[in-house]
Amino acid sequence: MTSTFTRVLLAAGALGAAVPAVAEGELNLYSSRHYDTDERLYSDFEEMTGITINRIEGKADELIARMEAEGANSPADIFMTVDTVRLTRAKDLGLLQPTESAVLEGRIPAYLQDDDNTWFGFSQRARILFYDKDTVDNPPVTYQDLANPEYAGLVCIRSSSNVYTQNITAALVAHLGQDAVQDWANGVVANFARAPQGGDTDQLRGIASGECGIAMSNTYYFARALRKGDKSMTEADLERIGWIFPNQNDIGAHMNISGGGVAANAPNKENAVKFLEYLASDQAQEYFSAGNDEYPAVPGVSLSPSVATLGIFRGDSIELSDIADNIGGAVEVLNGAGWE
């Protein structure tokens, strides 16, 4: 993790008459988003506002620990990360403050906001099921189906310590109850093709290699591979992989988010709110999709072709706070099932 602020310099050149000639200040951004494509988000914000973004980038847990250690003297204005678990942890530790903004309230759907407005979701990733079209004739159509005995030895999925696994399990607990989800987790573990390992792309590669028949992954990994290719998978490998948006007749496909909030001791609070409002703008929302193959949080914003290729689906509109409230129960379920 960078030990000092990395300053993203205001791009030189003709910026247009609407851009302030003098910087209006700075913004200190603590972010665990690690995508090169986000550079465009930062540079566009700077050009529009004259505010210079100073970044500290690292893993979410490291950034949270850093903010705790810095205490009231923390220079952090914004904390951004890619899952509900860490956003909730930051809130519970008193590291975020409520944000009053008519722009955010009006543009970000209520279910993508924290109950106390300490954080907001700005982009989404559907967590769906992928399968080997060559070997799986009857793919699962719900998350619950992953526990069916017919899929014994076919399922590849991430570890129980992964936040995506915890989030989907917590969502199922909220919908179905902990006892039912315990039975489900037991069945999924019994159907493992291999011990949980690697990231989402590794699950997709497992299908391409024939090691896995069914896998769970966030959509943007597959959409990115369709758009840019993947050195470890050929075009034929990608053609072999089919996908299912689960639970279209009931709860909908689970959605993970990337989000952020204003730090509790933000020295540049006004600039921080401006940045969050910018992330909710059509321009930024379109770039989340075009640059990183994510789904916008704001309804009606157009999708990039790579994302649109996956098709129209119903997403789960469960309140993210409900998922956060059930993370503890989800961890109990996963441990109880022996999910590694």
Interior CA angle at 281 toward 57 and 121, to 5°?
Answer: 55
Residues 36 and 115 in one domain: yes
Backbone φ/ψ region at 166: left (φ over 0), alpha (ψ -120 to 50), beta: alpha
Query: Residue 136's domain is classified under what CATH number?
Result: 3.40.190.10
**pLDDT, tens digit, 9 for 90 and up, residues 27-50:** 999 999 988 888 999 999 999 999
Q: Look up residue 326 and give its DSSP letter.
A: T
Is 241 within a domain?
Answer: yes
Residues 22 and 42 in one domain: yes
DSSP 222-271: HHHHHHH-BTTB-HHHHHHEEEE---TTTT-BEEEEEEEEEBTT-TTHHH
Classify strands 51-57 and 25-31 as parallel, antiparallel or unpaired. Answer: parallel
Counted domains in the chain: 2
**pLDDT, tens digit, 9 for 90 and up, residues 250-294:** 999 999 999 999 999 999 999 999 999 999 999 999 999 988 999
Residues 62 and 187 in one domain: no
d(CA 229, CA 112): 31
CB atoms within 10 A of CB 212: 26
Q: What is residue 51's predicted lDDT score, i.e. its pLDDT?
A: 97
pLDDT at residue 90 tops 50: yes
Domain span at 236: 126-253+315-336
Residues 226 and 82 in one domain: no
> DSSP 3-state helix, strand, coil percentages of the chain (rounded to 5)?
45, 20, 40
175, 325 contact by CB (below 8 A): no
d(CA 187, CA 151): 10
Residues 106 and 179 in one domain: no
Residues 104 and 157 in one domain: no
Residues 321 and 199 in one domain: yes
What is the average pLDDT score of the chain? Answer: 90
Residues 15 and 102 in one domain: yes
d(CA 275, CA 165): 30
Q: What is residue 165's predicted lDDT score, i.e. its pLDDT?
A: 96
70, 153 contact by CB (below 8 A): no
pTM over 0.75: yes
Is 221 within a domain?
Answer: yes
- Name the amino acid, one letter, at 108: I
Is 138 within a domain?
Answer: yes
pLDDT at residue 3 tops 80: no
Residues 171 and 243 in one domain: yes
Q: What is residue 78's predicted lDDT score, i.e. its pLDDT?
A: 98
3-state SS track over 147-212: HCHHHCCCEECCCCCCHHHHHHHHHHHHHHCHHHHHHHHHHHHHCECCCCCCCHHHHHHHHHHCCC
